[in-house]
Amino acid sequence: MTKRVAAIHDISCFGRCSMQVIWPVVSHFGHQVCPVPTALLSTHTGGYEGFTFLDLSEEMEKIAAHWKALGLGFDAIYSGFLGSERQIATVNSFIKDFSSEKTLVLVDPVMGDDGKIYKTYTNEMCKGMRILCAEADIITPNLTEAYILLDEEYEEQPDSVRQKELLDRLLMLSRKSKKAVILTGIRDQRQNTIGSVFAIMDGDKISYGSRFAPYCDCFFPGSGDLFASILLGKVLRGCAITEAVETAVRFISKASEYTKKLGTPPHYGLEFEGLMGEM
């Protein structure tokens, strides 16, 4: 049967990110996406002024209540950009109400980039994100988000010893016994590559890994959403996390190179649509 994914993200109508990336990508891997929109924006918040923002907190609660009455369940619950502090509790209840032992909970603790918190996020929302990470099987923070979660000052280039320390501490955020932390957007300046370092814990056994691909020196908003949706799409197909990370890292590198070559303004997002056959 088709796997069913509850996707709890905003809809930014222009500038590829969040639902506009997640929906096509997760569908590409053959899974059904059931959107739970957190907010409706004219564009994403990175690189645009004057964007509109409609908080959908009330609607989310109504959607969840109706789905609960229908007795729905999900193979995966995947949360990302939230629209208000109130939504932390909503998503937390959503996870409790709609997951079984088999449900994969992926929390992408979307909060910021490049050491900066997104314009619509408050400190309370950032603190609340830890509550959601406690329920997660997989979390996919970038470095900015990792430091916020651990309440530490941002460092742009943590060395490998420090990366491992971050992974170990991030693993402890989740109360699950089987879990993974996948740190994204890690630069290796010597090799001129970008990628991900990760830790997978099963009981008291932890395995570490990393995957890197060529860096094209251009940042595209929405890369994290593309990363997490490829990861989820592949893992739900039974793929190992290591292989899923490898595909995501390679694909984003390729899409970044391609988009840069086309000369698309970076805040329009990655031109991934024409490349999806290569995921």
118 binds ligand PXL (CB under 6 A): yes
Q: Which residues pair with 9 in a beta bridge?
A: 37
17 binds ligand PXL (CB under 6 A): yes
Among residue numbers 170 through 209, which ones bind ligand PXL (CB under 6 A)?
Answer: none
Q: Which of 45, 90, 163, 196 binds ligand PXL (CB under 6 A)?
A: 45
**Residues whose CB falls within 8 Å of the CB of residue 143, separated by 6 or more in sequence, listed in order:** 154, 155, 156, 158, 183, 185, 186
141 binds ligand PXL (CB under 6 A): no
Continuous H helices in the chain: 19-28, 57-70, 86-98, 123-133, 143-150, 160-171, 223-235, 241-262
46 binds ligand PXL (CB under 6 A): yes
| CA-wise closest residue to 228 among 13, 23, 1, 57 | 23
Distance CA(188)–CA(180), nearest Å, equals 22
Q: Least CB distance from residue 124 to ligand PXL, whole Å? A: 18
Distance CA(74)–CA(129), nearest Å, equals 21
Q: Least CB distance from residue 235 to ligand PXL, whole Å? A: 20
215 binds ligand PXL (CB under 6 A): no
111 binds ligand PXL (CB under 6 A): no
Residues binding ligand PXL: number (CB under 6 A): 15
Q: Least CB distance from residue 267 to ligand PXL, whole Å? A: 9
CB 211 within 8 A of CB 245: yes
220 binds ligand PXL (CB under 6 A): no
225 binds ligand PXL (CB under 6 A): yes
Q: Least CB distance from residue 224 to ligand PXL, whole Å? A: 5
44 binds ligand PXL (CB under 6 A): yes
Q: Which residues pair with 178 in a beta bridge?
A: 202
CB-neighbour burial class of residue 189 (10 A; exposed 0-12, middle 13-18, buried 19+): exposed
230 binds ligand PXL (CB under 6 A): no
247 binds ligand PXL (CB under 6 A): no
Which residue's structure tokens are 């997640």? 22
Q: Which of 29, 67, 81, 147 binds ligand PXL (CB under 6 A)?
A: 81
Residues written for the chain:
279
Chain residues in the site for ligand PXL (CB under 6 A)? 10, 12, 17-18, 41, 44-46, 81, 110, 118, 221-222, 224-225
